[in-house]
Structure 1
Amino acid sequence: MQYQKKVFRYKVAVGIVNKRLRESISVNDKPMIQTYLNNDIKEKYKIDWNCAREESLPNTTLQNLHLICDYFKIDISKYFETVKNITDEEIDTAICSKKKLTRLYSIYIKY
């Protein structure tokens, strides 16, 4: 169960990075919202994409990783370095901020 806990926490870290990348872009002097990103990706890449899924508890595919890095103009190695630098405290805060994540994570901490 420790492996699943570690993977869960890593997924949360990926979601944190995805959200930060989105919010780092200003649209009308405000952080970009998920709907804007979804629509922009649909227009630029001609695919439907769900930003919320990639920010809450992503199970990111290689295609989505490429899309994220291409869209935000970030090298894949820089992306993973950023994920690696997310702290345990940031992960814990993200987990506690969402009922779904708290519920799912509680399964792993019981073991």
Structure 2
Amino acid sequence: MQYQKKVFRYKVAVGLVNKRLREGIFVNNKPMTQIYLNNDIKERYNIDWNCAREESLPNTTLQNIFLICDYFNIDISRYFEMVKSVSDEEVDIAINSKKKLTRLYSIYLKS
């Protein structure tokens, strides 16, 4: 069960990086919204995108990671460096801030 716990926490870290990338872009002097990103990806890549899923608890594919890196113009190795740099405390805060994540994570803690 420790493996699943680590994977869960890694997924949360990926979601945090995805959110940071999005919020780091300003549209009309405000951080980019999820809806804006969804629509822009649809327009640019002709792909239906669910930004909320990719930020909450992504079970993302390499295709999605490549898309994120291309969209935000970052190297894939840089993307994984960003994920690796997310602290345990940041992951804990993210888990505790969402009921769904707290509930799912508690399953791994009981094991």
Q: Tell me the TM-score normalized by structure 1.
A: 0.99
After superposing on structure 2, the runs of 4+ consecutive aligned residues of structure 1 that deviate more than 2 Å are: none
Counterparts of 2:97 and 2:62, CA distance in 1: 27
Q: Tell me the TM-score normalized by structure 2.
A: 0.99
3-state SS of the aligned residue for 1:60? coil
Counterparts of 2:62 and 2:89, CA distance in 1: 27
Corresponding residue for residue 33 of structure 2: 33
Deviation for aligned residue 1:13: 0.2
Corresponding residue for residue 16 of structure 1: 16
Corresponding residue for residue 96 of structure 1: 96
Stretches of structure 2 that go unaligned for 5 or more consecutive residues are none
Describe the superposition over 1:41-77 as per-residue Cα deviations: whole angstroms up to 9, x where unpaired. 0000001010000000001101101100000000000
Counterparts of 1:47 and 1:57, CA distance in 2: 20
Corresponding residue for residue 7 of structure 1: 7
Corresponding residue for residue 108 of structure 2: 108
Identity, % of aligned positions = 81
Aligned alpha-carbon RMSD (Å):
0.3
3-state SS of the aligned residue for 1:8? helix
Describe the superposition over 1:19-55 as per-residue Cα deviations: whole angstroms up to 9, x where unpaired. 0000000001000000000000000000101000000
Corresponding residue for residue 69 of structure 1: 69
Stretches of structure 1 that go unaligned for 5 or more consecutive residues are none
